[in-house]
Amino acid sequence: MVPFLRILGIETSCDETAAAVVERDAEGHSRILSDVVLSQLDEHSAYGGVVPEIAARAHVEALDELIEQALARANVSLGDVDAIAATSGPGLIGGLLVGLMTGKAIARAAGKPLYAVNHLEGHALTARLTDGLTFPYLMLLVSGGHTQLILVRDVGQYERWGTTIDDALGEAFDKTAKLLGLPYPGGPAVERMARDGNPDRFAFPRPLVGEARLDFSFSGLKTAVRQAAQEIAPLSDQDVADICASFQKAISRTLKDRIGRGLQRFKTEFPVAGEKPALVVAGGVAANLELRGTLQALCDKNGFRFIAPPLSLCTDNAVMIAWAGLERMATGAAPDALDVQPRSRWPLDSKAETLIGFGKRGAKA
């Protein structure tokens, strides 16, 4: 028997304002009672990226209403929730302040405990809600702000096995799209163009492939794309399609090598018989079908289960924040004091060193 827990989650670390209610009953069955997300995409797309000040203001305008909606859709009142979980980092500080202060105010007014949640922990634990995964497992987080391979040992126990030494993968897609004249966000646009392109026309670099360390690097790839584009300018639609297809192929091959090594390491460190080990993917780039296919094939080859939660739970949302709060509360962890501060940088693995150039765009996920 586990305690029945119902949590209100709040997420404001980047450009999605979100609130959700999640519960787990005494038999261990979990349910998403509501999941409300307001994307600010339209407000940022004209600038080709997220503008922190605009994001913070948009969170202020939307959050109260979204929380009310989340409670109403869940058919509960504040009195019916056991705790409030709010993202307190990493991310854009203005947005974090809005969400965390709101969480504190509600916790204080309703007399409920507050859990200040690490956004990355939300991503890391989502697969336990969606797929009932048991520890340990590997997680690949590929978003606009992060590219990390993380060993998830237990609630609160994370080891970063690999990270990017320069651009995040989503960032590489966005920058490549921009220099090819494609709209923001770049990932979906590049994927769409790549469908009609020749992946073998350009031999783009596959950074760090073959190296024993499990890190990633994508800035050289972006530079190679720029050079190729300049050499054949002006670009026809077919040229753009060929560049996109070749770019995606280089990334696929890079992931195959890097993640393949990660799976091998996992099997060496956790040689368990019985249930198959699992690789979980999260973050906006997980929407990319070619990359998903690559990871699925890699997992099949190595005897791993490939777990990709529904896209709405892979990208930023408050369900994962409520769930991470629930998991922490269920371990008996004490809630946070109401003077807890937001942290724009907050690595999941506090022992992992910061790599040169890592997180240039801020530490958002």
Name the residues that contact ligand KG4, by CB under 6 A. Answer: 14, 143-145, 170, 173-174, 185-188, 191, 283-285, 287-288, 315-316, 364-365
| Nearest partner of 197 among 236, 160, 158, judged by Cα | 236
- Residues 213, 359, 38, 62, Cα dihedral to 10°: 150
Per partner kind, with CB cut-offs from 5 to 8 A, the member of ligand KG4, Zn ion, none near residue 246 is none
Per partner kind, with CB cut-offs from 5 to 8 A, the member of Zn ion, ligand KG4, none near residue 287 is ligand KG4
Residue 357 CA neighbour count, 13 Å, CB half: 13
Minimum Å distance from CB 216 to Zn ion? 17
Closest to Zn ion by CB, 316 or 327: 316
d(CA 55, CA 324): 24
d(CA 182, CA 175): 10
Per partner kind, with CB cut-offs from 5 to 8 A, the member of Zn ion, ligand KG4, none near residue 186 is ligand KG4
Closest to ligand KG4 by CB, 164 or 288: 288
Minimum Å distance from CB 322 to ligand KG4? 18
| Nearest partner of 6 among 317, 319, 326, judged by Cα | 326
Strand bridging mode 278-282 / 137-142: parallel
Per partner kind, with CB cut-offs from 5 to 8 A, the member of ligand KG4, Zn ion, none near residue 277 is none
Minimum Å distance from CB 289 to ligand KG4? 7
| Nearest partner of 12 among 80, 52, 59, 64, judged by Cα | 59
d(CA 17, CA 54): 12
Strand bridging mode 137-142 / 114-118: unpaired
| Site residue total, Zn ion (CB under 5 A) | 2
Closest to ligand KG4 by CB, 85 or 287: 287
| Mask for 303-332, x = binds Zn ion (CB under 5 A) | -------------x----------------
Closest to Zn ion by CB, 91 or 197: 91
Length of the chain: 365
Asked whether the beta carbons of 260 and 294 are under 8 A apart, the reply is: no
Q: Is residue 35 part of the contact set for Zn ion (CB under 5 A)?
A: no
Identify the H or E element spanning 298: helix 289-302
Minimum Å distance from CB 286 to ligand KG4? 8
Closest to ligand KG4 by CB, 202 or 218: 218
Residues that bind Zn ion (CB under 5 A): 316, 365
